[in-house]
Amino acid sequence: MASYKLNTSLLLVLFVIANASNFNNDFDITWGGGRGRIAGDILTLSLDRISGSGFQSKKEYHFGRIDMQLKLVPGNSAGTVTAYYLSSQGPTHDEIDFEFLGNETGQPYTLHTNVYTQGKGEREQQFRMWFDPTSRFHTYSIIWTRQTIVFLVDETPIREFRNMERIGVPFPNRQPMRLYSSLWNADQWATRGGLVKTDWTKAPFTASYRNFIVKPNLLTQLDSVRNRRLRWVKKNHMIYNYCTDTKRFPHGFPKECSVNH
């Protein structure tokens, strides 16, 4: 019971200091010629034949938990990409990526993830979700601490990238990052390797955002419940993992694959 009271108190403290979003205060629409809009507590990005759109946070963040609810482009979204990510700047930038690759009507989105450290990425994992991400809002979270990076969807962890600096694997822990999102056309590669092109008769394509929250996070490792959920996602919903791609790494996998696969 004492442990329960302590945990409850800690959650209340974190709730009080959490930064609930006001989009006008927290973000700048950075491009798109008016295709990015803020209306009350909803931010939308749109894409048409002329241009996509994007936004970035006004603040930089260095560790913590980032939550955002997204509702993705519905219907025939083939060729479109909705990117949602943390990034620093420069040739040795760090980056933590969610990218949502659209598809033909009735076919599932591909959720593409990646982690860049010191300008180098190539750590792709891809998933198919267990729900329709276009029918309502779902929460996509990044937990970033000195020990680990965890990607979560509606509180279910889908990927963990641990700090393995002790074996010579760079980890993004020195550069603060801003939060970015963009909606853009990538039909040269996004859907079935570029075989399915964007149907511009369905434009404009629109993604919606709400309930942005930043708060401290004390996580150092996943508990047993979240580890079970992570294993379930890997078994049932992962469709690509660079750490098992023998054609790509014929001479051996990257060092982090011994832990972060």
In a domain, 163, yes or no: yes
pLDDT at 124 over 50: yes
pLDDT of residue 217: 81
- Is residue 104 part of the annotated active site? The answer reads no
pLDDT at 11 over 50: no
pLDDT of residue 215: 93
pLDDT at 90 over 80: yes
In a domain, 183, yes or no: yes
In a domain, 29, yes or no: no
In a domain, 17, yes or no: no
- Is residue 95 part of the annotated active site? The answer reads yes
pLDDT of residue 153: 98
How confident is the model over 144-148, as a mean pLDDT? 95
In a domain, 234, yes or no: yes
Active-site residue among 95, 122, 155, 256?
Answer: 95
End-to-end alpha-carbon separation of the chain, Å? 37
Domain count, the chain: 1
Q: What residues make up the domain containing 249? A: 45-257
**Percent over 90 (pLDDT), the chain:** 84
Active-site residue among 99, 104, 160, 256?
Answer: 99
**pTM (2 d.p.):** 0.90
**What is the CATH number for 180?**
2.60.120.200
Give me the chain's average pLDDT, please: 91
pLDDT at 240 over 90: yes
